[in-house]
Structures are given as C-alpha cells and as structure tokens.
Amino acid sequence: MKKFTFILFTAMLLTLAMRVSAQNAETTMKPIMEDAMIYIDTIEAHNYEVVRMEFDLVSQSKNKETFRQMSSDYTYSVWVFGDFRFADIDVAVYQDMGGSWKQVAKDNSAESNALVTFKPEVGGMYKIEVIAYKFKPDYTIGHYGLIIFHE
C-alpha cells in the first residue's frame, strides 16, 4: 500500500508540474501567490497575525464576497491586491445588522491594491466585498489576493 501511495503521489506531482508549465501568465496563480508571500512576511514582521487568506478570480461585472466572524477585541486590516491586469481594485467591509448589511469601511484609492483598517463595534459576522473597479485595457477578469490580519 505504501508503494502504491508513493507512486500515486509522484504521478500527481508530475501531472501538476506539467499543467503548471503549460499555463501562460494569464491563467497561472503563481505570481499572485508569490506577491502574497512578500506581503505576509511584511505583515508578520510588524507583529500582526494573519487570520485569513483567499485567492480567486474577480471580474468587472461581478464583485466577490467573503464572510468572516470578527471580534470587537481586535482592530482588523483587510488587504486586497490584484495581479498585473488590474488598474484599480477596491474593498468594502459590511457588518451584519440583523439580516441587512451596514458598510463600516471602504477603500476608494485608485490603485491595484486596497487596504481598510477598522475596529468592530460589536463582534459578529462581517461581509468583505472585493470590487474590480477598473482593469487595464483588453482585460475584464483577473486574480486577486485577500489577507485579513490584526494586532
């Protein structure tokens, strides 16, 4: 059984390696993941704790939403960064108010990354919206990374 598991694992790695090498720059997640490692090193060097990371595609026609339980004991920062296709990416954070969402923080800078910092008044569920505000010419979709951290 151990020999079969080793062979299967080796075959999976070879298949993955072939798939990654066949991908072009517009479909691989590798650059956004490499950027994330630089950001994580910087965040942790300043004694912050990373509590969530997310990577996905977002298009100009449909924002992405993610949800996080947050405590009033911490001040949170949400860092969103886009790949080379983005001209402007934004982030907004909403607090659940009994089934409706109240905006508590929003980045409006015109950059390919966004940062908001806020301290929840009360603990509870929060919605984070990634907004692909503007792409570079000829693009309508791109990879983004999201990192949530606190002191």
101 lies in a domain?
yes
Percentage of the residues of the chain whose pLDDT score is greater than 90: 75
The token duo for 3 is 């020999």
Per the structure, the complete domain to which residue 108 belongs is given by: 27-150
Q: Is the pLDDT of residue 122 over 80?
A: yes
Predicted structure pTM score: 0.81
Q: Is the pLDDT of residue 53 over 90?
A: yes
Distance CA 105, CA 115 (A): 10
Edge to edge, the sheet with strand 64-70 lists: 64-70, 124-135, 86-97, 100-106
Helices and strands, counts by H and E, the chain: 2, 8
For residue 122, which of 51, 58, 73, 66 has the smallest C-alpha distance? 73
Question: How confident is the model at residue 26, as a pLDDT?
Answer: 72
3 lies in a domain?
no
Distance CA 121, CA 105 (A): 12
16 lies in a domain?
no
pLDDT digit string (tens) for 60-96?
889 999 999 999 999 999 999 999 999 999 999 999 9
7 lies in a domain?
no
11 lies in a domain?
no
Question: How confident is the model at residue 12, as a pLDDT?
Answer: 46
82 lies in a domain?
yes
Alpha-carbon dihedral 40, 44, 48, 49, rounded to 10 degrees: 70
For residue 42, which of 86, 79, 85 has the smallest C-alpha distance? 79
118 lies in a domain?
yes
- What is residue 149's three-state secondary structure? strand
pLDDT band with cut points at 50, 70 and 90 for residue 24: low
- The residue-averaged pLDDT of 26-48 equals 92
Look at the chain and report how many structural domains it folds into: 1
63 lies in a domain?
yes
Question: How confident is the model at residue 20, as a pLDDT?
Answer: 41
Residue with tokens 């990374």: 145
| Runs of H (alpha helix) within 46-96 | none
Distance CA 66, CA 121 (A): 20
CATH code of the domain containing 121: 2.60.120.380
Provide the mean pLDDT of the chain.
87
**C-alpha distance across the termini of the chain, in Å:** 46
